Amino acid sequence: MAWSADDNYLAVVVRNGPNESYVLTYDYIMRGKNQCCEKFDYVVNEVKFTPRDSQKLVVLGEGMFGLFGIVQKKFVDMSNYQDIPNFQEAQLAARGLKQTFSSVIFTQNDQIIACSESGDIFVIEIMQVVQIIDPNQLI
């Protein structure tokens, strides 16, 4: 569950079976008139609004990471991040998967700090990776 920074929107995840999830947004001010719902054919674990734009939502799931804009009561995929290195490319490609994140946080400048499922940490700014932090160097 997530609440937008402007206190207007609520987002929730509803699971409907082992590999099916729905993400619903609710416009609190308009009492639901601008709500939308999107079905995902995999498990969604978490949703978050970006800090400066309540029309953008990050969705995290098992083998999935997406940034979506809410446009005319529909989710629009905005996950066109560039230069995200894939350190396990061969293993992921063999299973037909892409690099995904297990956790994300936002800075007040709309940077995304993301941890990949393999433990790598990325700093993403304006849809570009600006820094990669090797967790082995932190130990």
Residue 18 has pLDDT above 80, yes or no: yes
**Cβ atoms 38, 58 nearer than 8 A:** no
Residue 132 has pLDDT above 80, yes or no: no
pTM (two decimals): 0.70
Residue 63 to residue 88: CA distance in whole angstroms: 13
Long-range contacts of 92-97 (CB under 8 A, 24+ apart): 97/63
Residue 19 has pLDDT above 80, yes or no: yes
User: Is the pLDDT higher at 99 or at 68?
Assistant: 68
Task: Read off the pLDDT band of 14 (50, 70, 90).
Answer: very high
Could you read off the pLDDT of 46-59 as tens digits, one per residue? 899 888 888 888 88
Residue 127 to residue 111: CA distance in whole angstroms: 9
pLDDT at 23: 92
Compute CA 108 distance to the chain's CA centroid, rounded to the nearest angstrom: 17
Degrees to nearest 5, angle at CA 23 with 18 and 28:
145
Task: Read off the pLDDT band of 13 (50, 70, 90).
Answer: very high
